[in-house]
Structures are given as structure tokens and as C-alpha cells.
């Protein structure tokens, strides 16, 4: 009787393993989600900046823009500091160096007296997309900008569904 149960358990495990997606497919899923996020974010280039805004129609502030961009992937709070603190939660990952950035990472900057005052999304090639109060619109900037964003970089957060 015990051997029969063990055989059933082993057979079930083998079938479940054979039906699981190959590792390459998991990477493709992450890559597709990142591509979708970047496409979604870029669709809002030029949308006006509005403090407290979180929709294309009313305009965006920085955390409202990232919240809107990520809404199909995860729920983000409407605060750059609260988004920054997500790295404390299980599954999220803090990235401290710009060299470690990956497309889809939330990037944070010290633009106010608070530890973090601005957030955007890294899109690759040393660039991030964000709702900028200075530009008064959604725009793309360099994370290495030596005059403003570069010296103010405070880190990044990788959300669980964008991790491999």
C-alpha cells in the first residue's frame, strides 16, 4: 500500500514537472512584461505634469505616473517615498548602484529635503522616463545627468514580477 502511494506521488510530480514552463519561457514572460511597461510609459510622453495627478487625462505627478504605468503588474502607492520603501517587502529588491539597473526598475532621486522626492522608471541605455515638474510633462532623462539627476540618484527598486 505504501509503495502504491509513493508511486502515485512520484508519477504526479513527474507530470507536474513536465507541464511546467521551461526556464526560457519564464525569462520571456519577464521580458514581455518589461517591454509592455516601457511601451505603456512611452505612450504618455508629453502628458502634462500635475501635482497629485495619476491619469493621462488629468496629468501625472512622478509617483502617479509610475503607479499608472505599473497598474497591470502590481499595485504601487501614490508616494515616491512609499514606493522606495517597497524594497523592504518580500520579493522586492533594492538596487544601490546605477550599473545594476535593469529595464523596468523604479529609480529614485533626492530632489527635496526628504530622503527620496522623485521616482521614474528605468528604460535602458542609461535613461529613465518620469513625470517631471521641471519639464512640466512626462519626459525621458539620463540617470547619469551630471547637473541634476545624476548626483541625486538614491537607488532603485525591482518589483517581484520583473525579477528573473
Positions annotated as catalytic residues are 62, 118, 130
Distance CA 13, CA 10 (A): 5
CA atoms within 13 A on the CB side of 112: 10
d(CA 38, CA 2): 53
Kindly give the interhelix angle for 23-42 and 62-70, rounded to the nearest 10 degrees: 140
CB atoms within 10 A of CB 48: 15
Amino acid at each position: 500500500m505504501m509503495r502504491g502511494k509513493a508511486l502515485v506521488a512520484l508519477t504526479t510530480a513527474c507530470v507536474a514537472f513536465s507541464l511546467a514552463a521551461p526556464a526560457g519561457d519564464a525569462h520571456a514572460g519577464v521580458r514581455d512584461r518589461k517591454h509592455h511597461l516601457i511601451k505603456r510609459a512611452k505612450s504618455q510622453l508629453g502628458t502634462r505634469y500635475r501635482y497629485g495627478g495619476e491619469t493621462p487625462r488629468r496629468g501625472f505627478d512622478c509617483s502617479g505616473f509610475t503607479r499608472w504605468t505599473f497598474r497591470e503588474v502590481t499595485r504601487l502607492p501614490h508616494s515616491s517615498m512609499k514606493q522606495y520603501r517597497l524594497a523592504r517587502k518580500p520579493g522586492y529588491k533594492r538596487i544601490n548602484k546605477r550599473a545594476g539597473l535593469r529595464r523596468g526598475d523604479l529609480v529614485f532621486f533626492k530632489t527635496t529635503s526628504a530622503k527620496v522626492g522623485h521616482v521614474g522608471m528605468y528604460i535602458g541605455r542609461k535613461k529613465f522616463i518620469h513625470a517631471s515638474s521641471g519639464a512640466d510633462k512626462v519626459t525621458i532623462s539620463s540617470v547619469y545627468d551630471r547637473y541634476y539627476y545624476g548626483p541625486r540618484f538614491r537607488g532603485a527598486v525591482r518589483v517581484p514580477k520583473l525579477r528573473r
